[in-house]
Chains A and B, each alone.
Chain A
């Protein structure tokens, strides 16, 4: 018999303190309240704006379908921009991704700085890039394509280098043991393992880019976005709704096709 105070077996464990949760909720509420003050958002204003919104919706219907003929070219240009931008970005992403992957580029002196640059590139939204490139290259689809290319490069390179780091090392070691040079190792041991993923990421980025390209025109970078400004500026909401519906249709079709293709790839 020892005098150790044995714990009562059936005692309920104490619930963890609720203080932390309470404090978190308080902080979040404070942040939200501060945000509401900063942005001058009030429910009253929203309610007051509802009639305006309903007016707007009423003016948008029925859509003026004949306007589709005017915007078909711009729509095709949008798709073209997305396609070319994604392709250029994907090509640029290959070397960057290889440099970023810690299992292929052994030296931390290389892959950390490259990753850092990649992260910087990804923080800049595509519309900002487009606005910058418009300032450099002038109006037209060319700055839009460059903006999409830079943006896609950042996204594809990130997704690809994460996939690269999970590849099977067996083939790589086998290639090394027979004395293959780095180029051979990449083309016979890395590419076969990664190509399906890469293609899937490119398609995924293409989906995003179609949406992005549709609004780049707002800053003068070509495509359908320009027509939003034109029609809204002249208060022709029935035409705006045609643009919106047309864009939605194209985006949905491209998303569907690309999703089916991606399912086949993986």
Chain B
């Protein structure tokens, strides 16, 4: 008989260094909050927020479609086109990177390690910065936005694709090797059918993210709905800001819904 059977479990002891962590956290937070220059809120803040709210709730419906030139629908279409093309470019570009970075596709750890490093390096560049650089190269406009999104998404898509490749079932590959298939045949009949649903699902997921990013690219002049939005913001045309925000919200919601339902069917 052991006595411990009816003993109440004691609370696990907290390690001593816990206090060190709490202290460090407290110092970080004091540093952060003390350093914020609290300049006070402008007296006009309340007035402007009221104007914005009023604008958002009485949007400028005329702006939805203008027969000549820049209107909401064309801006949204442009945004959509940027994100579609950007996603496509990054999907194509990232496939070799994904196979490079996948640990089971290369013999040495260094090879896949360097691929992973490169991908995370690409990932850390914000797309806005890339867009600024591409604007310098190909001039302002949607094309710069396409290139920026295309390059930026390679980082994340490549990593997700590499994870998918690492989850491959080796069985079909071995079976094909046993029958003497060439590398290309192994690729086509054993690898691609396995990774394709995952690839497509991630591509759609990235497309959702890219639509969001494409809405802000225009702020720095890389095309899409962001350009009229920043003009409306700076000219304090709140009705127009309202209709553009509404348009963005509706478009993103619809795209998320469509892409989500397709993704559910894929995997």
Contacts and interface: CB of A to CB of B under 8 A. Distances in A.
B245 interface: yes
Contacts of A214: 126
A35 B45 contact: no
A128 B38 contact: no
Contacts of B137: 49-50, 52-53, 56
Contacts of A136: 42, 45, 48-49, 52
A212 B32 CA distance: 17
B253 A40 contact: no
Contact of A41 (B80, B143, B230): B143
A252 B219 contact: no
Contacts, number: 155
A77 B35 contact: yes
Contacts of B82: 35, 39
A218 B219 contact: yes
Interface in A229-266: 232, 244, 247-248, 251-252, 255
Nearest to B253: A123
Interface stretch (B100-108, B169-177, B208-216): B208-216
A32 interface: yes
Given A131-B233, A218-B128, A248-B125, A35 B81 contact: yes
Give chain A's interface secondary structure class. helix
Given A124-B248, A137-B41, A131 B84 contact: no
Interface string B48-76: 11001000000000000000000000000
A226 to B, nearest CB: 13
A174 interface: no
Nearest to A252: B124
Interface in B137-151: 137-139, 141-143, 145-147
Contacts of A52: 136-138
Q: Interface size for chain A: under 10, 10 to 19, 20 to 34, or 35 or more residues?
A: 35 or more
A28 B23 CA distance: 55
Contact of B39 (A135, A140, A252): A140
B216 A41 contact: no
A256 to B, nearest CB: 10
Among B121, B128, B129, B245: residue with most chain A CB under 10 A: B129
A38 interface: yes
A120 B249 contact: yes
A220 to B, nearest CB: 10
A38 B142 contact: yes
Interface in B146-166: 146-147
Contacts of B212: 123, 125
Nearest to A219: B219
A136 to B, nearest CB: 5
B216 A83 contact: no
B88 interface: yes
Given A41-B85, A211-B124, A124 B129 contact: no
A127 B128 contact: yes
A39 B219 contact: no
A80 B30 CA distance: 10
A123 B252 contact: yes
A122 B109 CA distance: 39
B210 to A, nearest CB: 11
A138 interface: yes
Given A39-B223, A218-B220, A119 B129 contact: no
A119 B84 CA distance: 22
Contacts of A119: 253
7 contacts: A35-B82, A38-B81, A39-B82, A39-B142, A53-B133, A83-B29, A252-B120
Given A39-B223, A87-B32, 12 more contacts: A56-B136, A83-B32, A135-B236, A136-B52, A142-B38, A211-B126, A215-B126, A218-B128, A218-B219, A247-B124, A248-B125, A252-B124
